[in-house]
Chain A
Amino acid sequence: MLLFILRRLLLLIPTFLGITLLAFLFIRMLPGDPVLLLAGERGLSPERHAALLAQFGFDQPMWRQYVDYIAGLFRGDFGISFSTKRPVLEEFMARFPATLELAFCAILLASVLGIAAGVLAAVRRGSWIDQLTMGIALVGYSMPIFWWALLLIIAFSSTLGWTPVSGRMGLAYYFPDVTGFMLIDSWLSGRPGAFKSAVMHLILPTIVLATIPLAVIARQTRSAMLEVLGEVYMMTARSKGLSPLRVVGLHALRNAMIPVVTTIGLQVSVLMGGAILTESIFSWPGIGKWMIDSISRRDYQVVQGGLLLIALVVMLVNLTVDLLYGLVNPRVRRQ
């Protein structure tokens, strides 16, 4: 198992180098003077320009710049935001819990509902339940989620007034930032209503972000289940006299989970993309909103660092999924 993990980690090195190279080239591909772009200052004096040029290392040869860039990354130097003058890594860390909380709730909702719907549709193949579930999944899969978010706001926030329109927490509540996760922090604060407020703020963004993964997981679960249900070992399970719940819920689902786990892993990348739209609509103070704001502010150091950090997060999640896959599939584990 340790060897398995080590080999996976080794395979990541070329991808990691590629991602950093792409992020590195990003600034240099931008049209215009990189010094002006990075500093975000206008009308620089020639002396200041030369000083900045040296500071960013643009006077060095390309390969040297790249080596310095990598070395900087290992020191935690992902650049400095020109609009806030704070290190990019620090800014990222401040916003990451918000995205993580949202993404976690979304993937949880999508997995639980998606697997349940997929199993139900497969077991009742061809029935109206199957057709209805797959019809809804098709709509979800085709959904422009930014529009879906607006519709939900119209229905639940403007018309019914059930949920807030934006942010993570009602303004009336103030409590210390312990973990960065609103659900936990509001619970810890013990302030009446704070936890409820956190939940209410989470509901709509979670639904929006979960929509596409939910549909994909439901479809994948259904087809995996259909394949498994036709296997001989399902006959063996039934011939043992086991209850239908155990036959489907243990013998079939356990095998169907193997491809589904991979699918869920792939959805993490989709989630990070969806977070950009969801967070910008719900003013959710996470990574997605940070990125889109930085792009429109032309804060290129942030865009560069953020791009790299998000890719690293996705890479790490994929690694975790690979390892999980080994846990789910005995055939991989013991090789």
Chain B
Amino acid sequence: MTESAASPPPVSPLLENWRYFARSRGAVLGLTIFLAMVLMALLAPLIAPHEPNLQYRDALLTPPAWTEKGRATFLLGTDAVGRDILSRILHGARYSLGIGLVVVSIALTSGVVIGLAAGYVGGKLDALIMRLMDILLAFPSLLLALVLVAILGPGLFNAMLAIAVVLQPHFARLTRAAVLAEKNREYVVAARVAGAGHLRLMFRTILPNCLGPLIVQATLSFSHAILDAAALGFLGMGAQPPTPEWGAMLAEAREFITSAWWVVTMPGLAILITVISINLIGDGLRDTLDPKLKRS
């Protein structure tokens, strides 16, 4: 009894991880910016000052409000057809974050299932799957995504699908490696002896112990997905105009780089800030979840 009084109350692993994560200033900053972005995306229809696709014909290429010729109603200026850039960026956040979420969900789910199957079953299936993943990884990711979009046809949904296919092998490899490392550990053997079925062993026993690296990879993939989707949009193979997707906005802005800097600057800045915040979170998570790097 005296012993329990002396030692501090046990902390849940989640809380402990959070405390570790919160010690990194960068990670907390990243999380704050990211949550703000999510909030912006969710509230975009309410807080955007204008309709994203409404064209103010009397206000083409208005510079931002703080400049000499700026107008207070268009805080970040307007584009070539008079649409309010701030409103478009706010609505664009919905696309970018949505793209990240969908892509990572598809890539993570399929990658984990494929990797679990390869690692758990082993043998010929494993060899076949891993060769296939090697082949997918042999192509530059953006090029492969482009070619896939060429097959599927340009558009936002197909772009997301293509990026998910390209990102998926990373999850499969990671899961397989983790499964191979865990498969013969005592607790798995114990569960098998206790009569757990294959599916239960795969998903309930082994998978939770491989989560750390998967979470980190998911965060990294989230930022990759946003960057690649924007790149495809910029090349005209992703979201199509007049969708206020940031990459597509940049594609439309390209011809105005000499005359209207704000049309080019703002959407890119939005992409950059979002991706930085996610990468900050990713770095923090990696330090928290990777026991090898953990400092006491």
Contact = CB atoms under 8 A, between A and B. Distances in A.
Contact of A19 (B138, B236, B247): B138
Contacts of B135: 15, 18-19, 21-22
Interface residues of A, number: 45
Given A158-B258, A295-B147, A295-B150, A276 B250 contact: no
Contacts of A148: 268
A221 interface: no
A93 interface: no
A324 interface: no
Given A18-B132, A18-B135, A147-B264, A142 B143 contact: no
Contacts of A138: 276, 279-280, 283
Interface string A307-322: 1001100110000000
A15 B253 CA distance: 41
A151 B265 contact: yes
Contact of A310 (B139, B250, B267, B275): B139
Contact of A15 (B134, B235, B264): B134
Nearest to B268: A147
A273 B142 contact: yes
A123 interface: no
B163 to A, nearest CB: 12
Contact of A277 (B142, B153, B257, B283): B142
B151 A30 contact: yes
B179 interface: no
Given A147-B271, A292-B235, A270 B146 contact: no
B203 interface: no
Contacts of B279: 138, 141-142
A215 B134 CA distance: 25
30 contacts: A15-B131, A21-B135, A22-B135, A26-B151, A31-B151, A31-B153, A142-B276, A143-B275, A144-B275, A146-B231, A146-B247, A146-B250, A147-B267, A147-B268, A147-B271, A147-B272, A150-B254, A273-B140, A273-B143, A276-B143, A276-B146, A292-B235, A295-B146, A295-B150, A295-B237, A303-B150, A311-B138, A311-B139, A314-B138, A315-B138
Interface of A: 14-15, 18-19, 21-22, 26, 29-31, 138-139, 141-144, 146-148, 150-151, 153-154, 158, 269-274, 276-277, 280, 291-292, 295-296, 298, 300, 303, 307, 310-311, 314-315
